[in-house]
Protein backbone atom coordinates (compact mmCIF):
# COMPACT_ATOMS: atom_id res chain seq x y z
CA UNK A 1 0.00 0.00 0.00
CA UNK A 2 2.84 2.40 0.78
CA UNK A 3 4.20 1.86 -2.74
CA UNK A 4 0.87 3.03 -4.18
CA UNK A 5 0.95 6.10 -1.93
CA UNK A 6 4.47 6.94 -3.16
CA UNK A 7 3.37 6.55 -6.76
CA UNK A 8 0.37 8.85 -6.27
CA UNK A 9 2.43 11.46 -4.41
CA UNK A 10 5.09 11.41 -7.11
CA UNK A 11 2.44 11.85 -9.79
CA UNK A 12 0.95 14.83 -7.92
CA UNK A 13 4.27 16.49 -7.14
CA UNK A 14 4.03 18.62 -10.29
CA UNK A 15 0.29 19.08 -10.45
CA UNK A 16 0.24 21.29 -13.55
CA UNK A 17 2.45 18.98 -15.57
CA UNK A 18 0.45 15.93 -14.52
CA UNK A 19 -2.86 17.67 -15.24
CA UNK A 20 -1.74 18.70 -18.73
CA UNK A 21 -0.42 15.19 -19.42
CA UNK A 22 -3.72 13.66 -18.30
CA UNK A 23 -5.62 16.19 -20.42
CA UNK A 24 -3.52 15.26 -23.43
CA UNK A 25 -4.25 11.59 -22.83
CA UNK A 26 -7.98 12.26 -22.50
CA UNK A 27 -8.02 14.14 -25.80
CA UNK A 28 -5.90 11.50 -27.56
CA UNK A 29 -7.99 8.55 -26.34
CA UNK A 30 -11.19 10.43 -27.11
CA UNK A 31 -10.01 11.35 -30.62
CA UNK A 32 -8.91 7.78 -31.25
CA UNK A 33 -12.30 6.46 -30.16
CA UNK A 34 -14.23 8.92 -32.32
CA UNK A 35 -12.12 8.21 -35.40
CA UNK A 36 -12.52 4.47 -34.95
CA UNK A 37 -16.28 4.97 -34.51
CA UNK A 38 -16.36 6.90 -37.79
CA UNK A 39 -14.71 3.91 -39.50
CA UNK A 40 -17.24 1.55 -37.88
CA UNK A 41 -20.09 3.79 -39.06
CA UNK A 42 -18.65 3.70 -42.58
CA UNK A 43 -18.94 -0.08 -42.58
CA UNK A 44 -22.27 -0.19 -40.70
CA UNK A 45 -24.31 -1.00 -43.79
CA UNK A 46 -22.07 -3.88 -44.80
CA UNK A 47 -21.90 -5.18 -41.23
CA UNK A 48 -25.69 -5.33 -41.04
CA UNK A 49 -26.03 -7.12 -44.38
CA UNK A 50 -27.32 -10.68 -44.35
CA UNK A 51 -25.43 -13.66 -45.72
CA UNK A 52 -28.79 -15.24 -46.58
CA UNK A 53 -29.49 -12.61 -49.26
CA UNK A 54 -27.79 -12.37 -52.65
CA UNK A 55 -27.76 -9.46 -55.09
CA UNK A 56 -27.65 -9.80 -58.87
CA UNK A 57 -26.64 -6.81 -60.95
CA UNK A 58 -25.32 -6.09 -64.43
CA UNK A 59 -21.79 -7.47 -64.70
CA UNK A 60 -20.54 -4.31 -66.42
CA UNK A 61 -21.80 -1.73 -63.97
CA UNK A 62 -24.72 -0.79 -61.74
CA UNK A 63 -25.46 1.96 -64.23
CA UNK A 64 -26.79 -0.64 -66.66
CA UNK A 65 -30.11 -2.30 -65.69
CA UNK A 66 -31.29 -5.87 -66.18
CA UNK A 67 -34.39 -7.01 -68.08
CA UNK A 68 -37.54 -7.77 -66.10
CA UNK A 69 -37.60 -11.21 -67.74
CA UNK A 70 -34.60 -12.27 -65.65
CA UNK A 71 -36.77 -12.52 -62.53
CA UNK A 72 -38.44 -15.82 -63.43
CA UNK A 73 -35.17 -17.34 -64.55
CA UNK A 74 -33.48 -16.44 -61.28
CA UNK A 75 -36.44 -17.86 -59.38
CA UNK A 76 -35.92 -21.14 -61.21
CA UNK A 77 -32.36 -21.61 -59.91
CA UNK A 78 -32.13 -24.31 -57.24
CA UNK A 79 -31.74 -22.87 -53.76
CA UNK A 80 -33.46 -19.54 -54.50
CA UNK A 81 -36.48 -18.97 -52.26
CA UNK A 82 -37.73 -15.45 -53.03
CA UNK A 83 -36.82 -12.83 -55.64
CA UNK A 84 -37.45 -9.09 -55.26
CA UNK A 85 -36.78 -6.13 -57.54
CA UNK A 86 -35.05 -2.89 -56.57
CA UNK A 87 -34.27 0.28 -58.53
CA UNK A 88 -32.23 3.18 -57.24
CA UNK A 89 -34.33 6.32 -57.73
CA UNK A 90 -31.80 9.01 -56.86
CA UNK A 91 -34.22 11.90 -56.35
CA UNK A 92 -33.83 15.05 -54.27
CA UNK A 93 -36.24 16.22 -51.57
CA UNK A 94 -36.81 19.98 -52.07
CA UNK A 95 -33.09 20.88 -52.21
CA UNK A 96 -29.82 18.95 -52.74
CA UNK A 97 -28.76 19.07 -49.09
CA UNK A 98 -31.85 17.00 -48.20
CA UNK A 99 -30.76 14.03 -50.28
CA UNK A 100 -31.55 10.56 -48.97
CA UNK A 101 -31.79 7.10 -50.51
CA UNK A 102 -34.98 6.11 -52.32
CA UNK A 103 -35.66 2.68 -53.78
CA UNK A 104 -38.45 1.47 -56.03
CA UNK A 105 -39.09 -2.10 -54.88
CA UNK A 106 -41.48 -4.95 -55.55
CA UNK A 107 -44.19 -5.67 -53.00
CA UNK A 108 -42.39 -8.76 -51.65
CA UNK A 109 -39.23 -6.78 -50.88
CA UNK A 110 -39.91 -6.47 -47.14
CA UNK A 111 -40.32 -10.24 -46.88
CA UNK A 112 -36.56 -10.43 -47.41
CA UNK A 113 -35.82 -7.84 -44.73
CA UNK A 114 -37.18 -8.87 -41.32
CA UNK A 115 -34.96 -6.20 -39.74
CA UNK A 116 -37.40 -3.56 -41.07
CA UNK A 117 -40.49 -3.69 -38.88
CA UNK A 118 -43.76 -2.28 -40.26
CA UNK A 119 -47.16 -2.80 -38.67
CA UNK A 120 -49.61 -4.98 -40.59
CA UNK A 121 -52.06 -2.08 -40.98
CA UNK A 122 -49.44 0.30 -42.35
CA UNK A 123 -48.12 -2.30 -44.75
CA UNK A 124 -51.64 -2.99 -46.02
CA UNK A 125 -52.22 0.76 -46.50
CA UNK A 126 -48.95 1.00 -48.39
CA UNK A 127 -49.80 -1.86 -50.74
CA UNK A 128 -53.22 -0.35 -51.53
CA UNK A 129 -51.84 3.06 -52.44
CA UNK A 130 -50.14 3.25 -55.84
CA UNK A 131 -48.18 6.33 -54.71
CA UNK A 132 -47.64 4.98 -51.22
CA UNK A 133 -44.21 5.01 -49.61
CA UNK A 134 -42.52 3.62 -46.51
CA UNK A 135 -39.94 5.79 -44.77
CA UNK A 136 -37.40 4.66 -42.20
CA UNK A 137 -37.60 5.84 -38.61
CA UNK A 138 -34.27 7.69 -38.80
CA UNK A 139 -35.44 9.49 -41.93
CA UNK A 140 -38.81 10.32 -40.39
CA UNK A 141 -37.15 11.74 -37.28
CA UNK A 142 -34.74 13.83 -39.33
CA UNK A 143 -37.35 15.47 -41.58
CA UNK A 144 -40.43 15.12 -39.40
CA UNK A 145 -42.28 12.86 -41.81
CA UNK A 146 -45.57 11.44 -40.54
CA UNK A 147 -48.06 8.95 -41.92
CA UNK A 148 -50.23 10.77 -44.47
CA UNK A 149 -47.61 13.35 -45.46
CA UNK A 150 -46.98 13.97 -49.16
CA UNK A 151 -43.30 13.97 -50.09
CA UNK A 152 -42.32 15.71 -53.35
CA UNK A 153 -39.15 14.23 -54.86
CA UNK A 154 -37.42 15.82 -57.84
CA UNK A 155 -36.05 13.06 -60.05
CA UNK A 156 -32.47 13.07 -61.29
CA UNK A 157 -32.37 9.73 -63.09
CA UNK A 158 -36.11 9.78 -63.76
CA UNK A 159 -37.11 13.31 -64.73
CA UNK A 160 -39.97 15.26 -63.24
CA UNK A 161 -41.32 15.84 -59.76
CA UNK A 162 -42.78 12.75 -58.14
CA UNK A 163 -45.15 12.82 -55.19
CA UNK A 164 -45.30 10.02 -52.65
CA UNK A 165 -47.67 9.55 -49.73
CA UNK A 166 -46.19 8.24 -46.48
CA UNK A 167 -48.20 5.15 -45.58
CA UNK A 168 -45.92 3.64 -42.99
CA UNK A 169 -42.81 4.09 -40.84
CA UNK A 170 -40.18 1.36 -40.90
CA UNK A 171 -38.77 0.73 -37.46
CA UNK A 172 -35.39 -0.90 -37.00
CA UNK A 173 -35.18 -4.28 -35.33
CA UNK A 174 -32.38 -2.90 -33.14
CA UNK A 175 -30.11 0.14 -32.89
CA UNK A 176 -27.71 -1.21 -35.52
CA UNK A 177 -30.41 -1.26 -38.22
CA UNK A 178 -30.08 1.63 -40.67
CA UNK A 179 -33.49 3.09 -41.50
CA UNK A 180 -32.53 6.27 -43.33
CA UNK A 181 -34.18 5.48 -46.66
CA UNK A 182 -37.53 5.41 -48.43
CA UNK A 183 -39.26 2.58 -50.31
CA UNK A 184 -42.02 2.92 -52.89
CA UNK A 185 -43.72 0.74 -55.50
CA UNK A 186 -41.59 -0.50 -58.40
CA UNK A 187 -44.79 -0.90 -60.43
CA UNK A 188 -45.57 2.81 -60.01
CA UNK A 189 -42.12 3.73 -61.32
CA UNK A 190 -42.33 1.28 -64.21
CA UNK A 191 -45.82 2.38 -65.29
CA UNK A 192 -44.82 6.03 -65.28
CA UNK A 193 -41.60 5.36 -67.17
CA UNK A 194 -43.52 3.31 -69.77
CA UNK A 195 -45.72 6.33 -70.48
CA UNK A 196 -42.84 8.79 -70.70
CA UNK A 197 -40.15 6.65 -72.28
CA UNK A 198 -41.31 3.15 -73.27
CA UNK A 199 -37.81 1.94 -74.13
CA UNK A 200 -36.71 2.41 -70.51
CA UNK A 201 -39.58 0.39 -69.08
CA UNK A 202 -39.39 -3.15 -67.69
CA UNK A 203 -35.82 -2.58 -66.46
CA UNK A 204 -34.58 -3.60 -63.02
CA UNK A 205 -31.59 -2.12 -61.22
CA UNK A 206 -30.79 -5.17 -59.09
CA UNK A 207 -32.48 -8.37 -58.06
CA UNK A 208 -32.33 -9.23 -54.37
CA UNK A 209 -33.18 -12.80 -53.47
CA UNK A 210 -33.17 -15.09 -50.50
CA UNK A 211 -31.56 -18.52 -50.46
CA UNK A 212 -32.41 -21.65 -48.52
CA UNK A 213 -28.89 -22.26 -47.18
CA UNK A 214 -26.35 -19.43 -46.69
CA UNK A 215 -23.53 -22.01 -46.92
CA UNK A 216 -24.41 -22.48 -50.59
CA UNK A 217 -24.20 -18.76 -51.42
CA UNK A 218 -21.13 -19.13 -53.65
CA UNK A 219 -22.56 -22.08 -55.58
CA UNK A 220 -25.94 -20.39 -56.08
CA UNK A 221 -24.22 -17.20 -57.24
CA UNK A 222 -22.31 -19.14 -59.89
CA UNK A 223 -25.49 -20.93 -60.96
CA UNK A 224 -27.37 -17.66 -61.43
CA UNK A 225 -24.54 -16.05 -63.40
CA UNK A 226 -24.19 -19.15 -65.59
CA UNK A 227 -27.85 -18.80 -66.63
CA UNK A 228 -27.11 -15.42 -68.22
CA UNK A 229 -23.62 -16.14 -69.51
CA UNK A 230 -23.03 -14.87 -73.07
CA UNK A 231 -26.30 -12.92 -72.98
CA UNK A 232 -26.64 -9.25 -73.87
CA UNK A 233 -26.75 -8.44 -70.15
CA UNK A 234 -24.48 -10.78 -68.23
CA UNK A 235 -24.84 -10.72 -64.46
CA UNK A 236 -22.68 -10.55 -61.37
CA UNK A 237 -24.17 -12.17 -58.29
CA UNK A 238 -22.67 -11.73 -54.83
CA UNK A 239 -23.72 -11.70 -51.21
CA UNK A 240 -25.41 -8.58 -49.95
CA UNK A 241 -22.43 -7.88 -47.72
CA UNK A 242 -20.00 -8.08 -50.65
CA UNK A 243 -22.33 -5.82 -52.62
CA UNK A 244 -22.31 -3.24 -49.82
CA UNK A 245 -18.54 -3.49 -49.38
CA UNK A 246 -18.20 -2.66 -53.06
CA UNK A 247 -19.51 0.82 -52.31
CA UNK A 248 -17.26 1.18 -49.26
CA UNK A 249 -14.27 0.16 -51.38
CA UNK A 250 -14.76 3.33 -53.41
CA UNK A 251 -13.71 5.30 -50.33
CA UNK A 252 -11.04 2.92 -49.02
CA UNK A 253 -8.37 5.62 -49.18
CA UNK A 254 -10.44 7.90 -46.97
CA UNK A 255 -11.03 5.11 -44.45
CA UNK A 256 -7.32 4.23 -44.48
CA UNK A 257 -6.41 7.89 -43.88
CA UNK A 258 -8.79 8.05 -40.89
CA UNK A 259 -7.23 4.92 -39.42
CA UNK A 260 -3.72 6.30 -39.88
CA UNK A 261 -4.64 9.59 -38.23
CA UNK A 262 -6.11 7.75 -35.24
CA UNK A 263 -2.86 5.86 -34.71
CA UNK A 264 -0.75 8.99 -35.26
CA UNK A 265 -2.67 10.66 -32.43
CA UNK A 266 -1.69 7.82 -30.10
CA UNK A 267 1.96 7.94 -31.20
CA UNK A 268 2.09 11.69 -30.55
CA UNK A 269 0.68 11.40 -27.04
CA UNK A 270 3.07 8.52 -26.42
CA UNK A 271 5.97 10.84 -27.21
CA UNK A 272 4.52 13.55 -24.94
CA UNK A 273 4.02 11.06 -22.13
CA UNK A 274 7.53 9.65 -22.52
CA UNK A 275 9.00 13.15 -22.34
CA UNK A 276 7.01 13.95 -19.17
CA UNK A 277 8.19 10.76 -17.49
CA UNK A 278 11.81 11.37 -18.56
CA UNK A 279 11.68 14.85 -17.04
CA UNK A 280 10.28 13.46 -13.80
CA UNK A 281 12.96 10.79 -13.61
CA UNK A 282 15.78 13.29 -14.19
CA UNK A 283 14.46 15.58 -11.46
CA UNK A 284 14.50 12.73 -8.93
CA UNK A 285 17.97 11.39 -9.58
CA UNK A 286 19.16 12.43 -6.12
CA UNK A 287 16.12 10.83 -4.50
CA UNK A 288 16.69 7.56 -6.33
CA UNK A 289 20.34 7.54 -5.30
CA UNK A 290 19.33 8.20 -1.67
CA UNK A 291 16.80 5.35 -1.74
CA UNK A 292 19.50 3.05 -3.10
CA UNK A 293 21.84 4.14 -0.31
CA UNK A 294 19.12 3.26 2.20
CA UNK A 295 18.93 -0.25 0.79
CA UNK A 296 16.08 -0.11 -1.74
CA UNK A 297 16.86 -2.20 -4.80
CA UNK A 298 16.71 -1.29 -8.51
CA UNK A 299 13.41 -3.12 -8.92
CA UNK A 300 11.72 -0.91 -6.33
CA UNK A 301 12.90 2.26 -8.11
CA UNK A 302 11.79 0.94 -11.47
CA UNK A 303 8.40 0.09 -9.95
CA UNK A 304 7.94 3.67 -8.73
CA UNK A 305 8.60 5.15 -12.16
CA UNK A 306 6.71 2.48 -14.06
CA UNK A 307 3.75 2.65 -11.69
CA UNK A 308 3.53 6.43 -12.03
CA UNK A 309 3.42 6.13 -15.81
CA UNK A 310 0.68 3.50 -15.68
CA UNK A 311 -1.30 5.48 -13.08
CA UNK A 312 -1.31 8.64 -15.21
CA UNK A 313 -2.32 6.67 -18.31
CA UNK A 314 -5.01 4.83 -16.38
CA UNK A 315 -6.59 8.09 -15.26
CA UNK A 316 -6.29 9.78 -18.65
CA UNK A 317 -7.42 6.69 -20.56
CA UNK A 318 -10.40 6.10 -18.27
CA UNK A 319 -11.59 9.69 -18.56
CA UNK A 320 -11.17 9.57 -22.33
CA UNK A 321 -13.17 6.34 -22.58
CA UNK A 322 -15.94 7.70 -20.35
CA UNK A 323 -16.15 10.87 -22.45
CA UNK A 324 -16.33 9.04 -25.79
CA UNK A 325 -20.02 7.90 -25.79
CA UNK A 326 -21.53 11.33 -24.92
CA UNK A 327 -19.20 13.12 -27.34
CA UNK A 328 -20.08 10.57 -30.04
CA UNK A 329 -23.77 11.28 -29.40
CA UNK A 330 -23.17 15.03 -29.81
CA UNK A 331 -21.14 14.36 -32.96
CA UNK A 332 -23.98 12.32 -34.45
CA UNK A 333 -26.42 15.17 -33.80
CA UNK A 334 -24.01 17.67 -35.36
CA UNK A 335 -23.51 15.74 -38.61
CA UNK A 336 -27.21 15.01 -39.01
CA UNK A 337 -27.97 11.98 -41.16
CA UNK A 338 -24.46 11.43 -42.54
CA UNK A 339 -24.00 8.49 -40.17
CA UNK A 340 -27.39 6.89 -39.40
CA UNK A 341 -25.68 4.46 -37.02
CA UNK A 342 -22.98 6.06 -34.88
CA UNK A 343 -22.33 4.33 -31.59
CA UNK A 344 -19.15 3.37 -29.77
CA UNK A 345 -18.65 -0.38 -30.04
CA UNK A 346 -17.19 -2.64 -27.39
CA UNK A 347 -14.24 -3.31 -29.70
CA UNK A 348 -13.49 0.42 -29.90
CA UNK A 349 -13.57 0.75 -26.11
CA UNK A 350 -11.23 -2.22 -25.80
CA UNK A 351 -8.88 -0.65 -28.35
CA UNK A 352 -8.89 2.60 -26.37
CA UNK A 353 -7.95 0.72 -23.19
CA UNK A 354 -5.22 -1.16 -25.04
CA UNK A 355 -3.80 2.07 -26.48
CA UNK A 356 -3.72 3.72 -23.04
CA UNK A 357 -1.94 0.66 -21.63
CA UNK A 358 0.62 0.64 -24.45
CA UNK A 359 1.31 4.35 -23.95
CA UNK A 360 1.81 3.81 -20.22
CA UNK A 361 4.19 0.90 -20.75
CA UNK A 362 6.15 2.52 -23.59
CA UNK A 363 6.49 5.86 -21.80
CA UNK A 364 7.67 4.26 -18.55
CA UNK A 365 10.21 1.71 -19.79
CA UNK A 366 13.20 3.99 -20.46
CA UNK A 367 12.81 6.22 -17.35
CA UNK A 368 12.30 3.12 -15.18
CA UNK A 369 15.49 1.51 -16.51
CA UNK A 370 17.41 4.75 -15.99
CA UNK A 371 16.14 5.03 -12.41
CA UNK A 372 17.14 1.43 -11.70
CA UNK A 373 20.66 2.06 -13.04
CA UNK A 374 21.33 5.21 -11.02
CA UNK A 375 24.68 4.98 -9.23
CA UNK A 376 24.67 6.17 -5.64
CA UNK A 377 27.77 8.36 -5.86
CA UNK A 378 26.94 9.95 -9.19
CA UNK A 379 23.31 10.36 -8.17
CA UNK A 380 24.13 12.22 -4.96
CA UNK A 381 26.33 14.59 -6.95
CA UNK A 382 23.50 15.42 -9.39
CA UNK A 383 21.63 18.68 -9.20
CA UNK A 384 17.87 18.52 -9.81
Tens-digit pLDDT string for the chain (384 aa): 667 777 777 777 788 888 888 999 999 999 999 988 888 877 766 566 677 899 999 999 888 999 999 999 999 999 999 999 999 998 999 888 888 899 999 999 999 998 899 999 999 999 999 999 999 998 998 899 999 999 999 988 888 889 999 999 999 888 778 888 999 999 999 999 998 888 888 999 999 999 998 889 999 999 999 999 988 899 999 988 888 777 666 666 777 888 888 889 888 888 888 888 888 877 777 777 777 777 778 888 788 888 888 888 999 999 999 999 999 888 877 765 566 667 788 888 999 999 999 998 888 888 888 877 777 766 666 554
What Cα–Cα distance (Å) separates residue 77 from each residue in 81, 223, 238?
A: 9, 7, 15
- CA dist 352 and 26 (Å) reads 10
Q: Are residues 133 and 181 in the same domain?
A: yes
Q: Are residues 79 and 205 in the same domain?
A: yes
219: left (phi over 0), alpha (psi -120 to 50) or beta: alpha
- Residue 262: what pLDDT? 87
Q: Are residues 77 and 35 in the same domain?
A: no
- CA dist 365 and 384 (Å) reads 21
Q: Are residues 126 and 181 in the same domain?
A: yes
Q: Is residue 239 situated within a structural domain?
A: no
- CA dist 222 and 215 (Å) reads 13
- Residue 31: what pLDDT? 92
> Does this model's pTM top 0.75?
no
Q: Is residue 50 situated within a structural domain?
A: no
243, 55 in Cβ contact below 8 A? yes
Q: Which residues pair with 134 in a beta bridge?
A: 168, 183
Q: What is the CA radius of gyration of the chain?
A: 30
Q: Is residue 241 situated within a structural domain?
A: no
**Which residues are within 8 A (CB) of 18 and not within 5 positions of it... i.e. 6 or more apart?**
11, 12, 276, 312
- CA dist 154 and 71 (Å) reads 29
Of 167, 200, 233, which closes a domain?
Answer: 233
**Which residues are within 8 A (CB) of 165 and not within 5 positions of it... i.e. 6 or more apart?**
129, 131, 132, 133, 148, 149, 150, 151
Q: Are residues 72 and 215 in the same domain?
A: yes
Q: Are residues 106 and 220 in the same domain?
A: yes
207, 197 in Cβ contact below 8 A? no
- CA dist 139 and 136 (Å) reads 5
- Residue 47: what pLDDT? 62
169, 134 in Cβ contact below 8 A? yes
**Antiparallel, parallel or unpaired: β 66-67 and 101-105:** unpaired
- Count of all residues that appear for the chain in the document: 384
- Residue 134: what pLDDT? 96
Q: Are residues 266 and 375 in the same domain?
A: yes
- Residue 339: what pLDDT? 66
Q: Is residue 53 situated within a structural domain?
A: no
- Residue 4: what pLDDT? 78
55: left (phi over 0), alpha (psi -120 to 50) or beta: beta
Domain interval for residue 9 = 2-44+252-381
29, 198 in Cβ contact below 8 A? no
Q: Are residues 26 and 110 in the same domain?
A: no
- Residue 46: what pLDDT? 59
- Residue 149: what pLDDT? 94
Q: Is residue 245 situated within a structural domain?
A: no
Q: How many domains does the chain have?
A: 2
- CA dist 109 and 172 (Å) reads 16
237, 54 in Cβ contact below 8 A? yes
Q: Are residues 181 and 68 in the same domain?
A: yes
Of 198, 233, 268, which closes a domain?
Answer: 233
Amino acid sequence: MYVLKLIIRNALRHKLRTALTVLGLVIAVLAYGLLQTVVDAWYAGAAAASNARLVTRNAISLVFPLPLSYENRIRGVEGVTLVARSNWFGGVYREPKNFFAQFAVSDNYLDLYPEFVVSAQQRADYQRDRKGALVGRQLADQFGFKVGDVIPIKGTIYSGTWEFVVRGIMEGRDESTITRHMLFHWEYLNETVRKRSPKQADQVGVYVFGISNPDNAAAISRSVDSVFKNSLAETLTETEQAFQLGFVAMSNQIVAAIRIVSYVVIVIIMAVMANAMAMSARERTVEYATLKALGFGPGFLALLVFGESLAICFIGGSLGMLATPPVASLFKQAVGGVFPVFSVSRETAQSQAACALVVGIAAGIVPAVQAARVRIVEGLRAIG
